[in-house]
Structure 1
Amino acid sequence: MAEEEINYASVVFKTKTQPRPEAQKEEDTVYDEVKVPHKTPKQAADLNVSAGFLSDKKATNRRHHYQLLACCLGTFCVILLLGIIALGVFLLMNNNELKQLKNNQTTLLLIKHNLTEDNNKLRSENENLRRNNNNLTVTIGNLGRNNSNLIVINGNLTEAYAVVASKITNLTAENQKLTAENNKLNTQNQELKAQNNNLTEQIRNWSENGVARVQQIIDAYCPIDNNNNRQCKPCERGWLHYQSSCYAINNAKSPDQKTWEEAQHNCREKISFLAVIVNEDEKKFINDNSWHSKGVKGYWIGLRVEDGRWKWTDGSNLTESSWTQPPTNGHCAISFQNEEWKSVNCGEKNAWICKKKALSV
């Protein structure tokens, strides 16, 4: 049995629906087996070649159209998706911006309100400042006139101050002199007070002792001799007489020696003072009649440093030009036999020489 040839033919089915888009107007192809009458081999070959060529060409065209259509649809879908996303983002952003703009509008309205109030206040303050400026202008004018008057007054005061300053300088100098004199008088007053206290004490003692004390004085100046007669002398027993003064050389040993103040007190108890030497003759008499006993370094005399100067106990200044010991506060003078005086600390202990006026007989 001879083989049957199978040929392919294309059949187009048309529908009554609305026309498709241009991309879809291609006819749908349905392949089916179609039997044809037996032909000669040559005819069959020619027919097969022709039919195969036509069917392959149409199939290729359809696939190309389908691919193009699918690409367009995909592109359209992507664009549509991107548009939807962009629209959503835009709407979301516009919503946030709208809210932000509303908030900003509220804030700006509040700021505007505050600025309006501040502007009104500033206008009021500016008006007050303008009025104050006018008042200050008037005040400055008055002050300028007052300043001119004050300049004139200041000139007068400067001249008066120069005069007063000159007077103050003079008064200061006079006050310093008076202060120095007052200090000197205070020192003398203190010494006189000390003497007065000593004399008061002596008078009190004399008053207490009465006749006994007077009798002692009489016996001291007018002792009774072997013939029971009284012979009065210018000085008491134990005192040396020279010119119009009496001198007591106290040769106290070391345990009984005294400081300058203690020696002065001892002399006051004897109604005398530490020796004041007024000339060279008296100085020579003191030196000739004072001697070194064992333990005696020297004798206190009535000379010490007061206010940076050498002064005697009677308040007079040292005038002995040959003695040049520098005055040192807290120092007093001591006398040696046949030697110059020396300046030593008043707190040292030495023998001493008292002096008082001789009795006229």
Structure 2
Amino acid sequence: RRYQQLCFCFGTLCLILVLSVIGVCVYCKYTKLEENHNLTSLNEKLMEDRKNLTEIIETWNELNVSRAQWSIDQYCPTSNDGRRCTPCQSGWNFHMFRCYLHNNANPSDQKTWEEAQEYCKTKNSNLTVVSNQAEKKFVDDNSWAENEINGYWIGLRAVKGKWKWINGSDLTDLNWIHHQNAVEGHCVTSRAGRDWNTMNCNDKNAWICEKKALSV
């Protein structure tokens, strides 16, 4: 009788062991299938990302080529004598390795100081920053008051009680502004035959953009 009990217990243990082995095998197989599925999904995603990146690179290259061609056409326009390069684009004035665009806008097209700066950014430039007396004379001499223009915005405004250029530097010669107080919300205009004037930055005026000239 004891022998039968031992056989029963041993048989039960063997059955449990067999079932455990089967369970482990099934689990391993399921885990492997899941891992393979995850790897397949990851590989597909990587392939899709690679395709998207390739398309982005191709688009970027096309844009660079288009931009390069645009720059060539702007600075080196075609004429009967072939291409001839200039340091500034058409409509811009050259002075001391810089290019200046005096926007003689009609009253309906004039802009606030911020709007003028945003416009200059679209031309890869900023409102003009005057560095010396010679540059000031050039800027002023070309700031003609016509088409109901009261003045031209330049890159100078009041910031925390100081006159600051748009590049962050201070106005060093306060005689240019006749020691007018830097009232918050006020910006500066230039006009030929008149001293620099301060007015509310939200007023509408013409404006002057400036950028580095092309080395030719």
TM-score of the superposed pair, with normalisation by structure 2: 0.69
Aligned 1:101-140 pairs, distance under 5 A: none
- Three-state SS of the structure 2 residue aligned to 1:276 is coil
Tell me, in whole angstroms, the C-alpha distance in 1 between the residues paired with 2:88 and 2:77: 11
Pick closer, same or farther for the CA change 1:319–1:298 going to 2, 3 Å: same
Contact kept? 1:260, 1:347, Cα under 8 Å:
yes
Higher relative contact order, chain-length normalized (CA < 8 Å, sep 6+): 2
Aligned 1:3-42 pairs, distance under 5 A: none
1:352 corresponds to which of 207, 211, 214: 207
1:207 shift after superposition: 6.2
1:271 aligns with 124
Contact kept? 1:206, 1:213, Cα under 8 Å:
no
Aligned 1:335-350 pairs, distance under 5 A: 335-350=190-205
Are positions 1:215 and 2:72 aligned together? no
1:211 shift after superposition: 2.2
Q: Which has the larger radius of gyration?
A: 1
1:321 shift after superposition: 3.1
What is the alpha-carbon root mean square deviation over aligned residues? 1.6
- Three-state SS of the structure 2 residue aligned to 1:349 is coil
- In structure 2, stretches of 5+ residues that fail to align are 1-58
Tell me, in whole angstroms, the C-alpha distance in 2 between the residues paired with 1:221 and 1:261: 28
2:52 aligns with none
For residue 208 of structure 2, what is the amino acid of its counterpart? Answer: I
For residue 91 of structure 2, what is the amino acid of its counterpart? Answer: G
2:159 aligns with 306
Q: Which has the higher helix share?
A: 1
1:161-199 deviation digits (Å, cap 9, x = unpaired): xxxxxxxxxxxxxxxxxxxxxxxxxxxxxxxxxxxxxxx
1:326 corresponds to which of 181, 201, 212: 181
1:142 aligns with none
1:58-86 deviation digits (Å, cap 9, x = unpaired): xxxxxxxxxxxxxxxxxxxxxxxxxxxxx
Tell me, in whole angstroms, the C-alpha distance in 1 between the residues paired with 2:60 and 2:197: 38
1:331 shift after superposition: 0.3
Q: Which has the higher strand share?
A: 2
Are positions 1:295 and 2:148 aligned together? yes
For residue 303 of structure 1, what is the amino acid of its counterpart? Answer: L
Are positions 1:226 and 2:53 aligned together? no
2:102 aligns with 249
Are positions 1:240 and 2:93 aligned together? yes
2:135 aligns with 282
Aligned residues: 156
For residue 274 of structure 1, what is the amino acid of its counterpart? Answer: L
- Three-state SS of the structure 2 residue aligned to 1:302 is strand
1:262-295 deviation digits (Å, cap 9, x = unpaired): 0000001111000001111111101112212212
1:73 aligns with none
Tell me, in whole angstroms, the C-alpha distance in 2 between the residues paired with 1:333 and 1:230: 39
